[in-house]
Every structure is written in C-alpha cells, then in structure tokens.
A and B are shown apart, each in its own frame.
Chain A
Amino acid sequence: MKHTKKLNPLEAGMHTLFFLCGFVAVAFVLVITIYLVISGIPAIREVGLVDFLFGTTWASTNQTNPQYGILPFILTSIYGTAGAIVIGVPVGFMTAVFLAKVAPPKVAAAIRPAVDLLAGIPSVVYGMVGMVILLPGIRELFHLPAGDTLLAAIIVLAVMILPSIISVSETALRAVPREYEEASLALGATEIETYFRVTAPAAKSGIAAAVVLGVGRAIGEAMAIMMVAGNAPNMPNLLGSVRFLTTAVASEMSYAADGSLQKMALFSIGLVLFVFIMMINVLLNVVLKHEKE
C-alpha cells in the first residue's frame, strides 16, 4: 500500500489532469460556436442581412451578377421539416401507444429492437433507398421529368425521424403512473379512451420533447436529403426540385474556392442553421424543464 503523504503530488497531478480534460472539452465546445459565428458574419455583412435572409434568388456561380438570397433554403427547410412532422409524428405517436400499451408484451419486445435498428441505420442508406424507390415512383405518379422533389425529401425525413419519436414518446407514456389509468378504467372508461384521454395528456411534455427532437433531426439532416431533393435553389414547391439549408452548404462546399464570397456565404448559411438549431434547443429545454416541474 502506498502512503497518503507520498500520494500527494500524484493527487495534485491527477486533479490538474482532470481539470485539463474538462477544460479541453469545454474549449472544443466553444471553438464550434466561435468558428461558426466568426466565419459566418463576413458574407452577411457584405451581402447585407436583409438581402441575405430575404433575397429570393441564389445565383452564387453567376460571374457577372452573383446573388446570395437564402429565403428559398429557409422556407424549404421549414416546409420540409413541417411536412416530415405532420407525417411522422402521428404515425410515431400511435406506434408508441401500441408499443407501450396496446401490444401484447411479446410483440412489443419483438418490435422494439427493430425500431432501435431503424434509428441506427446510417442516413445515406435511407437516401439511397429513397433514390431507388421513391424517385421513380413520384416521377411516374405525377408525370414529372424527374422525381427529385420536396415531396420525396419529406417522406425520407418522416421515416428518419420516426424511430426517435417512437422511443421518446414510448418512454413518456410508460412513465405515467399506473394509478391514473386504473382510476380511469375503474370509472368506466374503455382502455383506448384511457390511453388517449388520460395517459397521453399526462405524458404530453414528453411527447412534446419527442416532437422537438424530431424537428431538430429533420432540420439538421443533410446527406439523405441531398440524394433525393434535387438541389436546385428554387422556392419550395412540393413537386419541384428544392434545396434545404443543410444541402445548400453541402452541395457547394466541395467546389467553392477558398476565400471567395461564395464559400463565405456557405458559412453564413451554416450560421443561420446554427441559430435555428439553438432556438430549437432552447425550446426543448423549456419543454423539459416544464416537465420536471
């Protein structure tokens, strides 16, 4: 055994070491924010905040008159996310009710790992399956020249947010005290009435958290959408080729010249996306804090 007195330098050393770890971790965290803000501002200042945020034309490669308006991307991101939520949340919530309450335990135990698997599948795989199945389907169905549309992106996003919505709302539904349901059943409500009018309202902040999480995932997804949305900088149109905030960054990132206004504008788009995500995070924190109270 070592003696405590001999350990003292070691103790001090370890204290410093752990402090350094904590410090570096926090520094990493700060680096992200600082880099995003610093690199995002120059292009916004050059183009002008209003022209940048509300300009409807993006023509970054136009030699004579380049234009940097990102309203189409912002609106596409909002519409796309809203569409994915409208499809994904009801289906996900209902499946969560099924898994938490309605399903026989063995069935639920078989489905749950499958949902976990769905959550773990890399996004490019979703994008590829979308490319192969959705795009020809949409092209045929609506007689379009190409199937790369906002609609395809919405469907892919809806499928991608499904697992997180299911697992978070299921956890919330399970956390509702059994007594609430027993009281409701004893008072004559049927099981289904109990689940939807007692359990679900009692779990509403957890379900809200699931929705916010879904929004965050949908608005931040890049590669899967890149493969199905067509990437033309048009104003959003359900059956048209569109570009999201994320894909706007991704699609020009590899060929924009360093130091050009085009590349700087990409970082500004990143900053706008960052601000969106921060707003969602704050919302999530408010929702979760509400739940704790």
Chain B
Amino acid sequence: MEGVNLMSQPAGGAVQGVGATRSGLSASRKAYDRGLRALVWLCAGLTCALLLFLIGYIFYRGVPNLSWEFLTTQESLLKGTMGILPAICNTLYVIGVTLVIALPLGVGAAVYLTEYATNYRLVAGIEFATETLSGIPSILYALVGYLAFSKTLGLGYSLLAASLTLAMMNLPTIIRTTQESLKTVPQGYREGALGLGSGKWHMIRTIVLPGSIDGIVTGCILAVGRIVGESAVLLYVGGMDSTMNSFFASWDKFAHSSGATLTVQLYVFAKERAMMDPAFAVAVVLLGLTFLINLCAKLAGKKLRQK
C-alpha cells in the first residue's frame, strides 16, 4: 500500500507514509496537529469558562438580593422595599394570552397546510414566508405591533397588544414544529383510517394529532422560552409600569392594562434607574426560568419520543 496524500494540500505537498502515528509525523504536520488540538481545547475551555463565569457572577450578585418578599410583593415607596410580583404576574399573563391566541391558530394552520391544502405551490410559498418571518428581529415586530395593535386597533400601550404581537412573532415557530411532526405520522395510518370509513376530521382528531403531540408541545415550550426572553416588543408595546394589574376585574382592565414583564423590569432597573442589585435578582429569576424551560423541553422530547 502506498502512502496517499488524502488531504487537500497544495500539489507537491509531502506524501506521508501509511499509518501515521504521531511520533512518525513530519515536523510541520506535528505542529499542525498539536496547534489545532490546543486551539480546540482552548476555545472549548473559553466557552465553558464564559458560561461558568456568567452564571456564577449573576448568582453571586443576585442571590443575596433575592428574598421571598422580593418575589411576592410589589415595590413600595412608603416602606422602601422592592418587589417583582407585578412583573411575574405580567409575564404569566403575556405567556397565557399569547399561547391562547397563537396555539390554536398555529396548529390549525399547520394542519391545513399538511392535511388539507392541495396546491403545492401555495404551500411551498406559505412555508417560505413563515420560515423567513422567524428570522425577523423582535424590534421590527415591536414597530409593527405598535402600529397595528396599539395605534390601528386602539389598544395603546398594553399587555394585550404586546401579547398579540408576540403571538404574531411565535406563529411561525409553532406552525413549523407542528408541521414537522405532522409529517412524521406515517401516511399508512391516514390511509388506514380513511379506508375504514373515517372522515377527514375524525382521522385528524384520532390519528394525526395524537401522533404529533410531541411537536406541538415542543413548539409551545419554544414559544414560552421566546416570550420569557423577549424584551423589545414588551417594552415598546407593553409598557413599563411596575404596579400590580388586576387583569380579571373587567374587560377594560383586561384589554388596557400595561406593565413591565420580568425582562422589561430588569431593563428598567439596570438602564433607567441604575439599580443593579434588584436587576441581578431579576436576572437570577430569569436564569432559573430559562433552565426550567430547557429542562421541560428535554423531558417532553424524551418522554414523547418513547411513546
């Protein structure tokens, strides 16, 4: 067997012997090998160090400022205490309302695209559009949400307008993940159900949707992660008050309450009010939420795949 220069070295590069153990390498190859290996370890180390530092630093600065009172009260100027309960409630409201709007629409659209639509060119066009839209930065969604919901629909700075904007922003994600899992349901199941006399909706309800529940759940979790992490839309459409909202007192309150979610609260603390201690405490809460959401996504994926 002859030594072959497999790698795309420039023509005339030294042809090496077979079975290069590291001791049998030429000096330049040895340097290449060692240098790149060191670089790979260095970069991986850098990433890990960065991560550990970020998390460690946030916890170091934030945990001492975290208390039960901080999480369960609102800010009180009289008592001079900080609290982020309003922000937590606002975040939950936004997650809830966004999912209530986006989930049925997104799943419905995905079902229509994969099960009903017959014009392939139209489907491809819509798929391209949703794909493209998932790459649009949130500040542009903030602009459109402001124009469309706050101004045109007259909702003003309100969490409902922000939720509508976020629903628009998360639709592509939900449609795509649902569609992908709808496509994994074997065609034979559908044909079997239809062949046994089931109607199309009955087939979708009993065969297709249960088989693709994993994609829908994953889409939901991804959407929740995106909503929790979003700040631009919530700041410019949802407002930044940090007082308690009573959303369910009346329809007017439900539609017109404005307020800061956790990320916006953090931004306000850090940038507008230069109060770093509560800001870091909010960051710890956000980190915890992110961790939880990632865990849920992983567990849901694993559990549903087993089924």
Contact = CB atoms under 8 A, between A and B. Distances in A.
Interface in B118-171: 126, 128-133, 135-144, 146-148, 151, 168, 171
Given A18-B112, A188-B20, A190-B29, A11 B200 contact: yes
How many residues of A sit at the interface, in one of the four size bands?
A: 35 or more
A200 B231 CA distance: 36
Interface in B184-200: 197-200
A25 B105 contact: yes
B290 A284 contact: no
Nearest to A98: B44
How many residues of B sit at the interface, in one of the four size bands?
A: 35 or more
A133 B133 CA distance: 34
Interface in B16-33: 16-20, 22, 25, 29, 32-33
B50 A198 contact: no
B271 A125 contact: no
A227 B270 CA distance: 9
B140 A273 contact: yes
A228 to B, nearest CB: 10
A36 B143 CA distance: 8
Contacts of B144: 31-32, 35-36
A113 B291 CA distance: 9
Contacts of B140: 32, 36, 220, 270, 273-274, 277
B226 to A, nearest CB: 9
Q: Which of B25, B112, B140 has the most CB of A within 10 A?
A: B140
Given A32-B141, A188-B18, A220-B139, 8 more contacts: A29-B126, A31-B168, A114-B51, A246-B137, A249-B142, A250-B232, A253-B142, A280-B135
Contact of A98 (B19, B41, B266): B41
Contacts of B94: none
Interface stretch (B71-79, B211-219, B275-283): B275-283
Nearest to B3: A188
Given A31-B148, A133-B57, A18 B143 contact: no
A90 B43 contact: yes
B37 A91 contact: no
12 contacts: A11-B202, A18-B109, A19-B112, A29-B130, A35-B144, A132-B61, A162-B50, A184-B6, A190-B25, A216-B135, A223-B231, A270-B139
A256 to B, nearest CB: 11
Given A98-B41, A162-B47, A226-B271, A121 B287 contact: yes
A221 to B, nearest CB: 7
A21 B201 contact: no
B-side interface mostly: helix
Interface string A105-141: 0000001011111101111110111011100000000
A128 B115 CA distance: 46
A263 B142 CA distance: 14
Interface in B268-305: 270-271, 276, 279-280, 283, 286-287, 290-291, 293-294, 298
B263 interface: yes
Contacts of A285: 128, 131
Interface of B: 3-4, 6-8, 16-20, 22, 25, 29, 32-33, 36-37, 39-44, 46-48, 50-51, 54-55, 57-58, 61, 104-109, 111-113, 115-117, 126, 128-133, 135-144, 146-148, 151, 168, 171-172, 175, 197-202, 204, 225, 228-232, 235-236, 263, 266-267, 270-271, 276, 279-280, 283, 286-287, 290-291, 293-294, 298
A66 interface: no
A201 B29 CA distance: 19
Top 8 A-B pairs, shortest CB-CB distance:
A220-B137, A21-B108, A94-B43, A22-B112, A98-B44, A25-B109, A122-B229, A14-B201
A258 B152 CA distance: 13
A111 B44 contact: yes
A54 interface: no
B112 A128 contact: no
A11 B199 contact: yes
Interface in A1-24: 4, 7-8, 10-11, 14-15, 17-22, 24
Contacts of A59: none
A7 to B, nearest CB: 5
Contact of B132 (A92, A133, A197, A281): A281
